[in-house]
Amino acid sequence: MTPGASFSQRRLIPPVLLGLGLITALALAGLGGGASYSRILSCAATGGHAGVLPDSRSIGSENRLYSPPDGARVIAAAVDGVSCAVRFNVYARPGGLTNRSEISRPQVLWRSGQTKWYALSLLLGRRHPWPGRGGWMIVTQFFAEDVHHGLSGGSPPVAIEVTSSGHLVLDIRGGRKVAPTAAAPLSAEYDLGTATSGVWHDLLLRVTWSTDAAGRVEAWQRTRGQRFTRTPQVDARGPNVLTVAGDVLPVYAEVGIYRSSARFPQVTYFGGLGAFASRRGADAFLERPAHR
């Protein structure tokens, strides 16, 4: 079974049961559903200081960090031309269900009927950049959850995954289901091209979140020095919001590494993730000085 084929069964464990602990970290700045720009993750939000991301004692409880000790670190020195990055690493851990080092902000939500541009940049470490054979690795996901009622959507409706064959893929799920563990009525995977280690990948997503046929996900991917194609590499239409037990679930972003258990460590660097009202804002985010 390919990594994409098994993906719908992966994100079925509530975060508090993953065994890595749930702690809060990292002041991710500036946000709100109506804002034209939402900086979800960037070195500017961390103050650009090298070191392990601060914990809830100094930051507050609005953000979540799912990580082993020293699993997420701000790198103030240049990483292949990017002046500041956040490094996520997971360790060799053959036991258990998953290995995880991610950060999210559940207070920044997007709902059915909204359209947003998302821009992100990531670099896969040169050593073990991909999951092992039969394994899977998610590097960005939009997780569906009714935070107030503690109801999750199971597998994320939109996610960026790295496959064991060395490709970046876009996963989309949507529709109505009776429980988080049930399969989504719509589940599809789209290839975004080669996942090259040691170079920065920029991704653009234009998402119209919807419970019905009005849903749309357009996606572009490039490596540094390339231009985005004029037309999107993926143009997927249909439901991309999950409704669970009658509850239409909003989504929030999580970035980092979430993978099947493996006997080797992995590292991924992030230059940032932002949400914007326009393509112009997303492009400017990827061209900012911190990225050059």
The CATH number of residue 115's host domain is 2.60.120.200
pLDDT above 90 for 174 = yes
pLDDT for the residue 103:
83
| Coil/strand/helix, residue 290 | helix
Cβ neighbours of 252 (radius 10 Å): 19
Q: For residue range 175-219, what is the model confidence (pLDDT) as tens digits?
A: 999 999 999 999 999 999 999 999 999 999 999 999 999 999 999
- The amino acid at residue 250 is P
pTM for this structure? 0.81
Q: How many CB atoms lie within 10 A of CB 23?
A: 16
Provide the number of structural domains found in the chain. 1
Q: Please name which of 166, 138, 148 lies closest in space to residue 247, comparing C-alpha atoms.
A: 148
Contacts of 126 (CB under 8 A, 6+ apart): 197, 198
Residue with tokens 């995977």: 189
Question: What is the H or E stretch that residue 152 is in?
Answer: strand 151-152
pLDDT value at residue 169? 98
Residue 226, Cβ density class (10 Å: 0-12 exposed, 13-18 middle, ≥19 buried): exposed
If you average pLDDT over each of 23-27, 87-91, 247-251, which comes out highest?
A: 247-251
Q: What angle do CA 86, 89, 94 make, to 5 degrees?
A: 165
CA triple 124-250-175, angle to 5 deg: 90
Asked if residue 7 lies in contact with residue 157, where contact means CB atoms within 8 angstroms, the answer is: no
Domain of residue 114 covers 3-291
Check: CB of residue 107 under 8 Å from CB of residue 33: no
pLDDT in tens, 72-92: 666 655 677 776 778 888 887
Kindly indicate the confidence band of residue 31, based on its pLDDT and cuts at 50, 70 and 90.
very low
Name the band, by pLDDT with cuts 50, 70 and 90, for residue 106. Answer: confident
